[in-house]
Amino acid sequence: MTYYDELKQKYGLIPDTQVGVNENGESVIVSIDEECACVTTMQNNRWSRTNIYYPDGWEEEYYSKWNTMPRSIWSMVVSV
């Protein structure tokens, strides 16, 4: 079972982006659809980490500084 399968089984499909807070107090943006699961964490060190999990087991991970993100996304997660 892939991590995508685990996420889908535990949370179901989340086609509309959901915003929450993880155990470290960091804002998290999550969506799960038939093509992939995408989890972006706004880390306390002002970096964002995006993990993308695919049904075939392929995974991608990206990092960026908060000030390089589009302002619309940044303002959405900072308000959580």
Per-residue pLDDT band for 72 (boundaries 50, 70, 90) equals: low
Tens digits of per-residue pLDDT, 3-59? 999 999 999 999 888 999 999 999 999 999 999 999 999 999 889 999 999 999 999
**Burial of 42 (C-beta count, 10 Å sphere; 0-12/13-18/19+):** buried
